[in-house]
Chains A and B, each alone.
Chain A
Amino acid sequence: QVTLRESGPALVKPTQTLTLTCTFSGFSLSTSGMCVSWIRQPPGKALEWLARIDWDDDKYYSTSLKTRLTISKDTSKNQVVLTMTNMDPVDTATYYCARIGYCGGDDLDYWGQGTLVTVSS
């Protein structure tokens, strides 16, 4: 079955770079049409889509955050990595990764459990 799990630091300091890893199983990012997205949710607030990486290494970013985000994949390890630079307390959120079964038209069908990242000095 499809599973995804986010990992990374629970606490980062302002101005630091956050690196999160999504480790998945049950599918391969080398499969044509497959992709993975990152989403976040500040405490008590709405969901926010962040980035997507496709099987063919195409990458897409939130317009408001694209200067701070980098998404990459390691197909051999079944991992997707998201880095976010210059962290600020407003970036405190639960960060989720999710699968998209077909980049050309599907949405987020499987989600990880999320990882809470707090930005504080």
Chain B
Amino acid sequence: DIQMTQSPSAMSASVGDRVTITCRASQGISNYLAWFQQKPGKVPKRLIYAASSLQSGVPSRFSGSGSGTEFTLTISSLQPEDFATYYCLQHNSYPPFTFGPGTKVDIK
């Protein structure tokens, strides 16, 4: 099975900061990677699909990049509503799929 790691596992940041979260796959997954945002008690919300495509309705301050085994989610200017936990998901065409362990972004 493909294993996913995320770094950092948690971070403190201030409004306006540029934030970068990294997700690594144990083997190449092309661009079969999505990013989700989850706030406490809420359903995960897809931000990015196919590694770099922005989900409709998601602010442009969110962006994704990468291919193969290393991927990044960048928030260009952190807003108060962005404090949440972020998960990557690899969905290489043949299951099982795997989520990363998550990155919690909280207020500095």
> Which residue numbers of A lie inside 8 Å of B, CB to CB?
37, 39, 46-49, 52, 60-63, 96, 100, 104-109, 111-114
- B32–A49 CB distance below 8 A: no
Query: Which chain A residue lies CB-closest to B43?
Result: A111
In the complex, which residues of chain B have a beta carbon less than 8 angstroms from the beta carbon of A63?
1, 96
In the complex, which residues of chain A have a beta carbon less than 8 angstroms from the beta carbon of B1?
63
A100 to B89, CA, bound (A): 13
Given contacts A107-B89, A108-B89, A113-B43, contact A48 B96 (CB under 8 A): no
**Cβ contacts A to B, 25 pairs, < 8 Å:** A46-B100, A46-B101, A47-B38, A47-B89, A47-B102, A48-B99, A49-B89, A49-B96, A49-B98, A60-B95, A60-B96, A61-B96, A63-B96, A96-B43, A100-B91, A105-B32, A105-B93, A107-B34, A108-B34, A108-B46, A108-B89, A109-B46, A111-B43, A113-B43, A114-B43
A37 to B97, CA, bound (A): 10
Tell me if B49 is interfacial: C-beta within 8 Å of chain A.
yes
A80 to B97, CA, bound (A): 18
Query: Which chain B residue lies CB-closest to A49?
Result: B97
- Min Cβ gap B107→A in Å is 19
A96 to B89, CA, bound (A): 15
Given contacts A61-B96, A106-B49, A108-B34, contact A46 B87 (CB under 8 A): yes
> Which residue numbers of B lie inside 8 Å of A, CB to CB?
1, 32, 34, 36, 38, 43-44, 46, 49-50, 87, 89, 91, 93-102
A109 to B43, CA, bound (A): 12
- Min Cβ gap B56→A in Å is 10
Taking A60-B95, A105-B93, A107-B34 as known contacts, 18 extra A-B pairs with beta carbons closer than 8 A to each other, sorted by chain A number, are A46-B100, A47-B44, A47-B87, A47-B89, A47-B102, A49-B95, A49-B96, A52-B97, A60-B94, A61-B95, A63-B96, A100-B91, A104-B93, A105-B50, A107-B49, A108-B36, A109-B46, A111-B44
A51 to B32, CA, bound (A): 17
A107 to B32, CA, bound (A): 8
Given contacts A106-B49, A107-B34, A107-B89, contact A52 B95 (CB under 8 A): yes
